Chain A
Amino acid sequence: MSEPGTPALGAYVRGIGVLGAGLPDWPSSVPVLRGEQPYVAAPTEVPPPSALPPAERRRTGAMVRLALAAGLQAVADAGADAAQLATVFASSGGDGAICDEICSALASPGRQISPIRFHNSVHNAASGYWSIALRATAPSTALCAYDGSFAAGLLEALSQIAATGEPALLIAYETDYPEPLRAKRPLPAPFATALLLTPTAPAGHATQLTAELVRETPDALPIPALETLRAAVPSARSLPLLLRIAQGDSGRVVLDYLEDLQLAVTVTPCP
């Protein structure tokens, strides 16, 4: 077998979004990831999706709002035009609250499902609302690789960039599930990461990423509370990569992907 040893895929990080307990955005997450400030797991405040028309805004659930907010952070960080961006939405599952509502309704005598809940239950709900909010007609995908969804999304985003030569916005996100699903899928809290990736180096400081498939042990985080978060929420499996970017030095991180396959990312700051 010739793997690992696949050619590396690369891109440049032009914008970053982070949204989770104690990590409300990228600028305030940098000192926490560097260990310069203590990590305090404050509840996640997700802003309403102001980019959506009011009627559509009212229809969005927590998961869509989380994904849109993280993506908009990355777009703002980069000063990019979201309408032109291809997007990759990576999530380890759908909206648990909606799933609970639908399954509860189906288990009741009347079986009345809300039509809006139904169309919001699709795995690509955030992708759909994003394209409506940003008037983005570019390709958008929504994928899942369970606990390895962030790495799967990064692979897809990098493959897209290699194929098209165009930037891509990766948004990885999860919300927690209500009981009784929570007992089966105990995601403790919402979390989202967004990376705006470009094929060429943007002006000014940038970070280059090159990725390859490997069979190695995924990296853990040195800060115990953040390591707990990383282990518990699939989109937080991005944190070793974000930590390396926050540190601003070169290095290689191994990210969780599949049980027997991982994604190694080499991080190189460009002056």
Chain B
Amino acid sequence: MRPLEITHFTATSALGRGLQATLEALRTRRGALMPCTFETATLETYVGQVADLESVRLPAPLARYDCRNHRLALLALEQDDFLAAVSRCAARRGAGRIGVLLGTSTSGMLETELAYRARGPDGALPARFDYAATHNTFALAEFVRRALQLTGPALVISTACSSSAKVFGAAARMLAAGLIDAAVVGGVDTLCLTTLYGFQALQLTAAGPCRPFDVARNGISIGEAGAFALLEPLSGACGPGTVALTGVGESSDAHHMSSPHPEGLGARLAMRQALEAASLTPTQIDYINLHGTGTPSNDSAEARAVAALFGDSVPVSSTKGATGHTLGAAGALEAVICALALRHGLLPGGLNTTQVDASLGLAYCTANRAQPLRRVLSNSFGFGGSNCSLVLERLAPEPAHE
């Protein structure tokens, strides 16, 4: 595929607001998972919750979109001058030539959960509940498109935990087809009772903080995040921190709705296609940001897929021990973490993992490494056997030294 420059990016998660807070948390290995006190949930689990979303206010013209998911979307967009970067891009390219392609799994579902609790004597949902502007899967892209005053094509991809990785692929195709000249991609997913109780029902949540690739791993910790990137064709003027999307691979497991293919068949296909799209061989990848959810079967399937393609020497880690599994936002959040890793020469070791499961046969890093990274791969796999892998590259020869 034709490489795309990630000209601007930002992320807000439990690690903090914006890139500086995210990088600082990764550097100091400060995890953000806390015992769940979200809303009225009474579950023995840890979550990666974004602080103070309750105090975020949407601008008056966008008031009908008010919900936790859009508060996080707005908060994330306001970091790292992302709004200004999109405005400049729109002024240069035209607001109608910029696509908005975002991923979410539950959108504003929390509003519907609350509305059901507030049903009237006749069973009707309260008048204030606005399905289209909050719960609906597309509401996120509609809200962001309006907030950014863009008028180009828009969609939401909702393929569970691969959602906001797949939007990078959809944006690359739209750019290649000439439908757009730039794209705002990203993902936003927020805590809600459906996912907290749903993953509990599937017995996939850990009681303590998740421990990806640990011998004693026993489930996920759910998190929330908003992450955005502005994709544009390569300008030719690559600075020291220029990061590009050079490969996307997508596949289906064709195996089971909520369990991965045991051999990681689909995961392997997605990674191989991403490498082919980037014209790279496995040995050219310096680091893999794993999907690494911390469930026994997910980590085992992913490890088999990675080992089959890359062998056992490439450094790998999951950053979900720090952020939690941010579901539909995970692809974009981890793409941003990969971009930070490339830009700052930081290979982030996984948190909470005390004894790496040797049977998984990978070089899982539990400590940070300061080393120049040139090419990294990020994995995102979801329910329904939906797999997506991204390749990100730093285009200039040397990393920035700070």
Contact = CB atoms under 8 A, between A and B. Distances in A.
A246 interface: no
Q: Is the interface of A mostly helix, strand, loop or mixed?
A: mixed
A124 B201 contact: no
B229 interface: no
A128 B384 contact: yes
Contact of B385 (A111, A131, A143, A185): A131
A137 B160 contact: no
A103 B125 CA distance: 11
B54 to A, nearest CB: 20
A119 interface: yes
A134 interface: yes
Given A118-B202, A181-B125, A185-B131, A258 B153 contact: yes
Interface string B125-164: 1000111100011110110000000011111111110000
A125 B142 CA distance: 23
Nearest to B327: A122
A127 B113 contact: no
B198 A113 contact: yes
A220 interface: no
Given A111-B197, A132-B256, A183-B124, A124 B176 contact: no
A78 interface: no
B350 to A, nearest CB: 26
A129 B256 CA distance: 8
Interface stretch (B247-255, B288-296, B330-338): B247-255
B96 A1 contact: yes
A150 to B, nearest CB: 12
Interface string B199-242: 11111000000000000000000000000000000000000000
Interface string B363-402: 0000000000000000000111110000000000000000
Interface residues of B, number: 70
B177 interface: yes
A156 B179 CA distance: 11
A120 interface: yes
Interface string A106-130: 1100011111001111111101110
A131 B253 contact: yes
B153 A119 contact: no
Contacts of B88: none
A153 to B, nearest CB: 9
Contacts of B258: 115, 119
Given A111-B197, A115-B198, 16 more contacts: A93-B136, A106-B116, A118-B201, A122-B105, A123-B160, A128-B257, A131-B385, A137-B251, A137-B252, A141-B159, A142-B158, A142-B384, A144-B137, A155-B153, A213-B179, A261-B151
Interface of A: 1-4, 6-7, 9, 56, 59, 92-94, 99, 102-107, 111-115, 118-125, 127-129, 131-132, 134-146, 149, 152, 155-156, 158-160, 162-163, 179-181, 183-185, 213, 257-258, 260-261
- Closest CB pairs A-B (n = 4): A128-B384, A123-B158, A118-B198, A139-B250
Interface of B: 1, 94-97, 105, 112-113, 115-117, 119, 123-125, 129-132, 136-139, 141-142, 151-160, 166, 170, 172-174, 176-179, 193-194, 197-203, 250-258, 265-266, 269, 382-386
14 contacts: A92-B136, A93-B137, A118-B199, A121-B194, A128-B385, A131-B252, A137-B253, A145-B154, A152-B154, A155-B153, A162-B176, A163-B1, A180-B119, A185-B136
